[in-house]
Copies of this chain bind each other. A is one copy, B any other.
Amino acid sequence: MKDVQNSRDERNIYIDKVGIKNLKLPLVVRDRNRMNQATVADVNFYVDLPHHFKGTHMSRFVEILNEYRDSFDISRLGEILKATRKKLNALKAHLELTFPYFIEKESPVSKSPGLMDYLCTISAAGNGDEKMDMVLTIRVPVTTLCPCSKEISKYGAHSQRSIVTLSVRTNRFVWLEELIRLVEESASCEIYSLLKREDEKYVTETAYENPRFVEDVVRDVTERIARDERIDWFTIESENIESIHNHDAYAYIERNLKAEREKTVREARTKSQVKELISQN
């Protein structure tokens, strides 16, 4: 049978990404408390295609996923990308996994246990020459209460569910649980799946005592995350499902902390060199 994909293409056009999208896959991921948790991922999986090949071999992506499925681990991502580049004769490989991640949380007063779900995405790309590029994304639902509404009203203040999305590039291992915690502490109040009456009193009062605009949430996350030496780059978005409108409020910050740190070091060095020169003369 002819291998059409393998035949020569004369258009001389390189393709950045080619592969499969929206494949569902059961997955076991590492979990800080319970070692492992079973979940279901949506998978996108691509390689690049040199200009001279007509097509890529789509079935090989599924073969690779089959091979690693039962013992999948973030620590093996580099290995998977390497195997992919080899099996598909590609320079680059991209793997994106999006899955609900569950954390057991106790409610704040009655200490009732409940599972919270957070949608996570791991997006990894490798080209063989350097370290794999990996972006971790978590989507954290929280409560926000409007500072303006509180300030100007006789009583009450409108609140709503907000979706806060944090993406990071790190230079060291960071638990998803740490990133989630950081976001939850920047909201008016965190969210629980199970709240008894005493807990509901607590979250209502806590949110009222901690009003946050959508702008406040992204700034508070930025303040905390900029201090974390393990984070090289991040974006933070907050989206309020406004209770008083049929549209959402939105804020977004992107920061390249690694570049900022290198700039600070360069400036400090220059400054001390200047000082030294002055003191020498």
Query: Interface of A with B (CB < 8 Å)?
Result: 1-5, 9, 11, 13-26, 37-40, 43-44, 46, 49, 54-56, 58-59, 62-63, 66, 69, 100, 102, 112-117, 141, 143-161, 189, 191-198, 200-201, 203-205, 207-208, 213-216, 218-220, 222-223, 239, 241-254
Query: CA of A203 to CA of B146 in the docked complex: distance in angstroms?
Result: 13
A208 CB contact (under 8 Å) in B144, B156, B198, B249: B156
CB distance from A278 to the nearest CB of B (A): 30
Q: Is the interface of A mostly helix, strand, loop or mixed?
A: mixed
In the complex, 29 of the A-B residue pairs with CB atoms within 8 angstroms, ordered by the A residue number, are A1-B152, A1-B197, A9-B215, A11-B220, A17-B250, A17-B251, A18-B250, A19-B250, A20-B250, A21-B247, A22-B247, A23-B247, A25-B115, A26-B39, A62-B193, A63-B112, A117-B246, A144-B243, A145-B156, A149-B204, A153-B201, A153-B204, A154-B201, A160-B161, A161-B241, A189-B244, A191-B245, A204-B244, A241-B241
Contact across chains for A247 and B20 when beta carbons are under 8 A apart? yes
